[in-house]
Amino acid sequence: GQNIDQPTEMTATEGAIVQINCTYQTSGFNGLFWYQQHAGEAPTFLSYNVLDGLEEKGRFSSFLSRSKGYSYLLLKELQMKDSASYLCAVQDSNYQLIWGAGTKLIIKP
């Protein structure tokens, strides 16, 4: 079967750095997305990786290793507004998005 694993919840301190991991087992791979979802709101696109390596976009970076079926989202200089759920999603061989259950990130002052 197809499976996306992420930690359920993480806690970090304002100003610090946090890494949210995602491992996947899917039938084929055509890219990995990270989305942010604040409570009661819609998911919004953060990043896309299809090749191995690190993609940096401001305070957020996303890394992919296809051979390991692994990705992480790195958030630097954490702000209180970064408190949200972070969803990992993988496109399989049919270009269907397989979603993880999300990681709830709690930022403390």
Interacting residue ranges for other proteins, rule: CB under 8 A: 30-31, 33, 37, 40-45, 48, 50, 85, 87, 89, 91, 95-97, 99, 101-102, 104
CA distance 50 to 70: 12
Nearest to other proteins of 3, 13 (CB atom): 3
Structural tokens at position 91 = 């496109």
> Which residue lies nearer to other proteins by CB, 41 or 56?
41
Strand partners, 59: none
Question: Per the structure block, which two tokens stand in for 95?
Answer: 């270009």
Q: Shortest approach of other proteins to residue 15 CB, angstroms? A: 27
Q: Are 91 and 31 in contact (CB under 8 A)?
A: yes
State the minimum distance, in angstroms, from the CB of residue 84 to other proteins: 11
